[in-house]
Amino acid sequence: MKFLHITDPHLVARPQMLFDIDVWARLEQAVKSMNSRHGDAELCVLTGDLTHWAEPEAYADVMTIMGGLAIPWHPILGNHDDREIFRATFPDAPVDGYGFLQYTLETSAGRFILLDTLKQGSASGTLCTKRLDWLRDQLDTARRDGVNVFVFMHHAPMATGINGLDRIGLEDPETFAAAIADFDNIRHIFFGHLHRACHGSWRGIPVSTLKATAHQVELTLDPDAPLTGCLENPAYAVVLISDEAVVIHDHSYLEEGNEFEYVRGFPGATTSPPPHQRD
């Protein structure tokens, strides 16, 4: 199974720019690249911060731009979003019984569970008792159904070493950890918020995120450093899932067109390559 992961477009109402970045063009270019190179993917998940200021016009632009994607796409909310304004623009978005943007997707690789970590009025994230009860119900159902689970959320479930973001991470991750501790069918957790490529594991569960389609965050591991942005290129992720593996390729789509044929004996070389490098 192949799907695409993008995150943090941070759209603003036109004609504003964000940190001198044309965030609409960044998202439009991502959609163009995904269509041309990976239109065979099953779906795309967008892990939050659809907008920067939660402006209705910006949400309308998200709908228009992502509407050009040739495959189904599914959003969750981040700390820059507003639940009610989002729902006014996306009235058909699925919600749980409490009004949170939490839902499941049936895929050929298993069940995707999309979580709502938005804590209205705060940059930090949360999973309240209601949201965790819903999650446990979904995990129970998946276990009874004998299917694997892939979890999507905006805030990272663990500290990343980047102080500026860890200060606004998921509140009370221990409660989240306790809620999922009894389930051994969670194959991977995908998240956003970090604005950097980051892969590893947490409590024995593989986790990953990637660069935003908007700005990035500087890799500064000083425990006293403030949050610092940078202008590294954006990316989206191509995820390949099989029974044996979850493989994630981060694609820096603004750098397309720089390909070259890899010739073992490179042109103009005066020395022949050794035999094992000739083919």
Residue 267 has pLDDT above 70, yes or no: no
pTM for the whole structure: 0.95
Tell me the C-alpha distance between 203 and 89, whole Å.
Answer: 37
In this prediction, residue 279 carries a pLDDT of 60
Residue 179 has pLDDT above 80, yes or no: yes
Beta bridge partners of 4: 44, 238
| pLDDT range class, residue 265, cuts 50, 70, 90 | low
Asked if 46 and 76 touch (Cβ cutoff 8 Å), the reply is yes
- The mean per-residue pLDDT over the stretch 243-259 comes to 97
What pLDDT digit, counting tens, does each position of 30-68 carry?
999 999 999 999 999 999 999 999 999 999 999 999 999
Tell me the C-alpha distance between 154 and 189, whole Å.
Answer: 10
Dihedral angle, C-alpha 179, 181, 184, 190, nearest 10 °: 60
Q: Within the chain, what is the greatest distance between any pair of CA atoms?
A: 70
- Above pLDDT 90, what percent of the chain? 92
How many domains is the chain built from?
1
In this prediction, residue 261 carries a pLDDT of 79
Query: Which residues in 244-272 are b (16+ Cβ under 10 Å) and which e?
Result: eebebebbebeeeeeeeeeeeeeeeeeee
Domain containing 235 equals 2-277
What pLDDT digit, counting tens, does each position of 77-129 carry?
999 999 999 999 999 999 999 999 999 999 999 999 999 999 999 999 999 99
Residue 271 has pLDDT above 90, yes or no: no
- The mean per-residue pLDDT over the stretch 145-155 comes to 98
In this prediction, residue 59 carries a pLDDT of 98
- The mean per-residue pLDDT over the stretch 248-258 comes to 97
| pLDDT range class, residue 273, cuts 50, 70, 90 | confident
Instruction: Read off the CATH number of the domain in which 45 is found.
Output: 3.60.21.10
| pLDDT range class, residue 209, cuts 50, 70, 90 | very high
Asked if 102 and 127 touch (Cβ cutoff 8 Å), the reply is no
- The mean per-residue pLDDT over the stretch 176-199 comes to 97
In this prediction, residue 204 carries a pLDDT of 96
